[in-house]
Amino acid sequence: MEPAYYYHDYPVCPNCKEPVITGAPLLIEDDGTFRCSSCDAFFSPAVHLPENEGVHEFLTKNLKEPPSEELPLIWPIKNNVIEKSYLSWLPNISEGKYLITWPWRNIRFLPVLICECLRVKGDAKIVVIGEINTGESKNELGFPDPFSALGSLQYIEDMSKMDSGDLRNLRRLLKIDRKNVFKKKKKIHYRIKDSKNRHTTEISVYRPEMTIRKCINRILKYYKNLYGMNAVRSITQKDGKGGKKIKTVNDEGIIAIIIEEREEWTGKKLSFPVSDLFQVMLNYDDLTRFKDHFKYDCITDVRDTYTSDSSVVFISQTMEPENLFSIVEEFNPDVVFFTDSDYFVNESLFNGRRWQKFREFIRSTEHAVLMFSLRPDSRHLYRDLKDSFTWHTWDCIPILDILTGDEDHSRPSPFSSSFSEISVPEINAEVEYIHLKEIDRIEEISEKILKIDNSKNVRLYLKYLPQTPLNLRGPHHYSNGGWVIDNILNQILDTPIFDEVKSTFEEVYSISSDPQRNPLLKSMKEIIEAELSGDDRKSIFIALKSSRETKSLKKTFEMNEENPDVLDAVDICTWNDLPTHHDEGPSVVIATSYPPIGYSMNDTAIEKFYFIGGSTAIEKIKSIVNNRITEQITKPLHIPSRNERAPELLFEITEKIHVPETVKEDILEFERSIESGSHSQILNSYGRTSKKRARTIRAGTECVLVINEMNSGMFIPSHRILFFKDETADRIEHIRAGDKPENLQERTLLLDEHGFYTSFKVLFTRFMIEIAPTLKIKSSYYTWNGFGELVDDSYEWLRNIRNAMNKIRDTRGWNENRAKDYLSEYLVEYDLNARNPDYIRDHWLSDPEIIVTSQGHVPVFEVEHPRAISDVEKIYRALDELSPEMRLDDEKARRSYIASRTLQKLRRKFLTDKKQSLAPRYRRFHEELWKEINYVLKRSDKFKIKQARIVKVKIDSPSMKILQDYERYII
C-alpha cells in the first residue's frame, strides 16, 4: 500500500509561517482571528471563498459535499526523505528495537507515521512515550507536541481521480490572494531619519493601547537615553488627509521623526500554497480527518489511565517509571515510540530509577520499539544496551553530507522537518595530505615480510613503522614491544626476500649510516620551516599516538636541531593531550596517524592539519577525516548489514560511504574499550562547549577566595560577575564577587570537566545561537537575522580593540603585554568613562572564552559594553587614527553598542524573568533554554561555597579554577 497524501489545518501564519520557524505563538483574538506574535499579521483560520456562481456550480458538479463559503487553511505536508523512508518501512515491521539518532530537535512527523501505521494495520495499537504539553494557553497557540497535532491531521488516500483540466478550470474561476485571508488594521507608522548617519528606518506597529502621543513620548525617551537630551531635531505628525504638523525640538538635533496613523493590510504577502488548496478542494469528498477514524488518548497522571478502544495512547515521560511501564504492558501495544529516549538514558549517570526501568523494559519487551535520540552527548550512554537494538544513525556527518547535497522538496511544518533547518558543520581547519613515495616502499615491503612471518611481534612492529618519525637504530630509536629493526631482519635472514628488505630499509632509513634519516621527520622539518617563515608566532604541534614516542622524538629534536627558534615553536605531544596543549593563537598540527576516536576536528581552534604518510596511510586518514569517524562518540556512524532491519534509504546512503576495513576494526576496538571503561576520560570530556585557557590573577592583586566543604579553593577576580541558580525557582541571579564576598556563601558554582567555573552567560549564548539561528531581533533601527548575528555584532568593538593590539604587536615587534600596555594608555587619552588603563588592559583586552557551535567558534567576552554609546564612538575614532586600514566609523560603533545592550537585556530577561513576562515570540526559547539549564544542572559538578573572603595573591594565580593547594598563592 502506497503512503497517503497528508495535510493539516493546524494554524500557521500565512505571512511568516510561525510558529513553525522559531516557535513564536499565534495569539487568538476575541473574534477568532489569529494574530502572529512575530510579524503582527492578522488572519482568518479559513479562506473566504468569494461569491462566484461559476465556482459554486463547478464545485457542486464535481463534489458530493462541496466546501461552504469558508474553507480552512489546509496545508500540504511535504516530508523529507528520511521521514518518507519510515512511512514506507515501519508499517511492515512487527518486531525489533531501533535506536534512531535524529538530526532534528523534535520528531515532527510522528503523527503522520502513526496514521500511516494505522492505515495499513487498522487493528494496531501504539504507545508514544514523551513530553506532553498540558499547560497550553487558551489565548495562544505555539508549536504543537505530537498529541496536540494529531487533531489537525488529514489525509487523502487516492489522488488519481483528480483531472488536470478540472484543476485548470478551478484556478481560472477562483482567485485567492491576501484579501481572502488577511485583515486590515490601523497602525502607527513612523519614519526616523538620522542625519548624522544618513540612515532612515520605517516601522509600522499595531498597538491598540498606544496613542500617537504615547508613541512620540516613547521614541523621544529612547533617543534621549541613547544620544543625549538634544538628539531629536523635529517631529512631523501627519493626519492621513494630506495635512501635517511640524514641531521643532532642537535645531542642532540629528533625529527627525515623521509619524502618522494608517489603515493597511497586516500581511505583506500570502505565503500559503494556493495550488495545493485547489487540489484539496477537488478531492474534498475523500479528505479524511485522523480523529474521525482513530481514537487516541493521553495519560499524564496515574489516576487517569482509562484508554478503552484507543488505537494510540500518549504517556507522559515524567510519570513515575514503575507506573509508566506498567501502563505500557497493560495496554500491550504493537509499537512503542520514545520521542526522547535520552531522557531515560541520562539517568544512567547516577543509576536512577528511570534508567533502571527503561533498561529492564528494552531488554525484556517483545514489542517493536523505536527510540529517538536527540542529544549527541547522550549517545555513548546507550552502550550498555547495544546488543538489544539496531542502530539507525542518521545524525552523522557523512550521511547528512549526502542527503543535504540532494535537492530537498520538504517543507518545515508542525508535521515535517526540512534539511534547511540543519547546519552541517564543516571542518574549520585546513587539511593537507603529504604523500611520501618512500613510505610506499615500506608499506609494500612490509606486506612481503608478513607473507613469510605473520607472528604478532612482527605484525605490530610493521603496523606502526610507516607512522614513526624516529630513526630505526641508535639513541631514541623506534621499537615496538621490545622489537627493533634487527629483530625483523633476523626473522627473515634465511629467506629469499632478505636482500630486498635490507636494501629497502637502507635506502629509505640509512640504517647502516651515520647520520640516519627518516623521510617522515625530514618532511616534518620542512613543514615547520615553511610555517615559521610565514609567521614566526605560530605554535606547531607534532601529534603522535604513543607518549613513549613523544619523549623519544623530543630527545631527537634536542640532539639534532640547530635552530633554537624551531625548538621554541614546536610542541610534541600525543593526540589525547593536544586539546590541553594548544591555546587560541595561530597553530598547526603535523601528524602521521589519524586522530583518535573522540577527537573532533570541528571542535578545534587549530588552523591547519598536515597528515604525512604513504598511500595506504593517507587513504585511511582521508576516509576517517572526511567521514568524521573520530566523532563516533557523539554522532556515530553505523553501516547496517543487509540482515539488519532498516529503511531502504539507509542502506542506499551507507553503501555510498567508503570506510576501509581497517577503520571499521578501529571503531570496533574503540567500542570495546568504551564498554571496558578505558575511554572514560574521553567520555567525560565530551560535550565541551568551550575552549578555556587558565587565566591568571597577577601577583599582588586583591581577589576573592572561595572555599568549599572539601577545603578546595578558587580565586575569583573582584570585578567578576558570577551567575547562580536560584534554589527555589527557575531564575538565575548574578552577583559581583568583590562587592560583598559574604553574599557568596552557601551558593553553588557550576564546574566543567576540567574544574573551571561554568557561566550561565556562556550557556545562554551557546544555546540561543543553536536554537534561534533565524530569530529576527530588532532594536532601534537595527535588525539582526539570527541570534548568532546579534552576538557577533555585540562583541565587534572588543574584537576591533584586540585586532588593533595585534597590529601594534606585529608592526612594532613587541610582545603582547607591551602592546596591551601601549593601547590601554592610548585609549585613555580619548576621554572615555573608563579612565584607568589597567581596567582596559585587564578587562577589555582579556582573553575571551571560545564556545563551539554549529556556526563555528564564537568568542564570549567578560565585558559586554562600555558605559555610554559615546565611548564606543570615541574608541572607533581612536582606532581609526591608529590603523586607518580598519575603516571604522561611528555607524559601526553604534550598531555594536546597540547589539551589546540588546544582548544583555535579552539575557537578563531570559535568565531572571518568568516566561509570561517575555514577548510571546520569545516564550518557546525561554522554555527550551530552561530545559537545557536543568539538564546541565543535573550533569555538572558543583562547588558549594562555604567561605568567601578578600585576599591578596603573592604569585601569579589561576583564575576561576578549582585548586587543592590554594594556600601557597596567598600572602
Question: Letter for the amino acid at 127?
Answer: V
**Separation of alpha carbons 44 and 11, rounded Å:** 9
User: How many other C-beta atoms are found inside a 10 Å radius of the C-beta of residue 843?
Assistant: 18
Burial tier of 108 (Cβ tally within 10 Å: 0-12, 13-18, 19+): buried
- Does 760 map to a domain? no
**Separation of alpha carbons 461 and 446, rounded Å:** 10
Quote the longest CA-to-CA distance of the chain: 110
| 199 shares its domain with 91 | no
**Separation of alpha carbons 117 and 71, rounded Å:** 28
β strands within 171-302, DSSP E: 184-194, 199-205, 232-238, 244-248, 255-265, 288-289, 296-299
Q: How far is CA 94 from the centre of its chain?
A: 35
Q: Which residues pair with 724 in a beta bridge?
A: 733
Name which of 508, 502, 509 is nearest 474 in CA terms. Answer: 509
| 461 shares its domain with 576 | yes
- Does 403 map to a domain? yes
Q: What are phi and psi of 410, to 5 degrees?
A: -75, 160
Residue 709 three-state SS: coil
Q: Pick from 421, 451, 486: which residue ends a domain?
A: 421
For the CA atoms of 198, 199, 202, 208, the dihedral, rounded to the nearest 10 degrees, stands at: -110
Q: How far is CA 811 from the centre of its chain?
A: 37
User: How many other C-beta atoms are found inside a 10 Å radius of the C-beta of residue 459?
Assistant: 14
Structural domain span for residue 305 = 5-176+273-421
Task: Check: CB of residue 92 under 8 Å from CB of residue 362.
Answer: no
Task: Check: CB of residue 94 under 8 Å from CB of residue 301.
Answer: no
pLDDT, position 213? 86
**Separation of alpha carbons 454 and 93, rounded Å:** 46
- For residue 933, CA distances in Å to 193, 761, 929 come to 42, 11, 6
H and E: helices and strands count for the chain = 32, 41
**Separation of alpha carbons 938 and 377, rounded Å:** 14
* Structural domains counted in the chain: 5
| 895 shares its domain with 950 | no
| 386 shares its domain with 346 | yes
Name which of 391, 388, 364, 363 is nearest 379 in CA terms. Answer: 391
Q: Which residues of the chain have pLDDT under 70?
A: 135-136, 161-162, 197, 240, 561-565, 579-585, 598, 602-605, 662-664, 666-694, 753-754
What is the DSSP annotation of 400-435?
HHHHHHS------BTTB--GGG---PPP-SEEEEEE
Q: What is the pTM of this model?
A: 0.82
Please, what is the end-to-end C-alpha distance for the chain in angstroms?
Answer: 80
430-435 and 608-613 strand pairing: parallel
| 142 shares its domain with 115 | yes
Task: Check: CB of residue 45 under 8 Å from CB of residue 32.
Answer: yes
Task: Check: CB of residue 481 under 8 Å from CB of residue 461.
Answer: yes
- For residue 779, CA distances in Å to 233, 345, 783, 795, 838 come to 21, 42, 7, 16, 33
- Does 653 map to a domain? no
- Does 641 map to a domain? no
**Separation of alpha carbons 449 and 455, rounded Å:** 10
| 250 shares its domain with 345 | no
Residue 380 three-state SS: helix
| 102 shares its domain with 193 | no
Q: What are phi and psi of 307, to 5 degrees?
A: -135, 35
Task: Check: CB of residue 335 under 8 Å from CB of residue 142.
Answer: no
Burial tier of 711 (Cβ tally within 10 Å: 0-12, 13-18, 19+): exposed
DSSP state of 774: T
- Does 360 map to a domain? yes
Residue 674 three-state SS: helix
- For residue 494, CA distances in Å to 241, 424, 490, 491, 512 come to 109, 56, 8, 8, 20
- Per-residue burial over 716-753, b if 16 or more Cβ lie within 10 Å, else e, is bbebbebbbbeeeebebbebebbeebeebeebebbbbe
What angle separates helix 890-912 from helix 869-882, to the nearest 10 degrees? 140
pLDDT, position 963? 93
| 951 shares its domain with 849 | no
| 404 shares its domain with 449 | no
| 931 shares its domain with 944 | no
| 115 shares its domain with 224 | no
| 145 shares its domain with 221 | no
Alpha helices in 677-786 (DSSP H): 680-685, 760-771
368-373 and 335-338 strand pairing: parallel
- Does 679 map to a domain? no
In angstroms, what is the C-alpha Rg of the chain? 33
pLDDT, position 204? 80
- Does 138 map to a domain? yes
Q: Which residues pair with 945 in a beta bridge?
A: 708
**Separation of alpha carbons 500 and 508, rounded Å:** 12
- Does 758 map to a domain? no
Name which of 478, 543, 473 is nearest 511 in CA terms. Answer: 473
Residue 769 three-state SS: helix
pLDDT, position 683? 40
